[in-house]
Amino acid sequence: MLHKTRTWTRSPKGVPAVKGETQAERAQLIRYFMARDNKVQFVVKFLGVSPSIWSMIETGSRQISKEMAELLIRKVPQITRDYIAVGDCKHVGERFMNLIIEAQAKASGLSR
C-alpha cells in the first residue's frame, strides 16, 4: 500500500538542509544533533515519546507543545526555550550553533 505522506525511510540522510525558520525545521536539527539519522533512537529510547507524534512535529503538522519543549530542554544540552519557540539562537551552545550554521549553508546550496 502506498502512502502519500513522507515516511522516515524516505527522509534524506545527513545534516538537514533547513534554515530553522519553523518549529518543524528546528525539531529536525534537534533530533539530528542528538541522534544523527537514527530517529527511532532519539524519539523512543531517548525522549520516550511516540514516533508518530515526533513525525508530525518534524513534518510541521503538529506544533511543539509546552510539555514537549520542557522535555527537550531537560534532555538536550545546548538548546533553549527561545530557540524551540521562535528560533532565537542567542543562547544555544557552540556545538549546536555549528550545526545550525552547517544546515543553513546546506539549505542555501553553499555546502554539500
Residue 56 included in any domain: yes
With respect to residue 75, please indicate whether it lies within any of the assigned structural domains: yes
Is 39 in a helix, a strand, or coil?
helix
On whether residue 79 sits in a domain, the answer given is yes
pTM of the model: 0.86
The total number of structural domains that make up the chain: 1
- Domain presence at residue 64: yes
| Domain-located, residue 6 | no
Model pLDDT for residues 16-65, shown as the tens digit of each residue: 999 999 999 999 999 999 999 899 999 999 999 999 999 999 999 999 99
112 inside domain: no
Q: With DSSP H G I counted as helix, E B as strand and the rest as coil, what are the percentages for the chain, rounded to 5?
A: 55, 0, 45
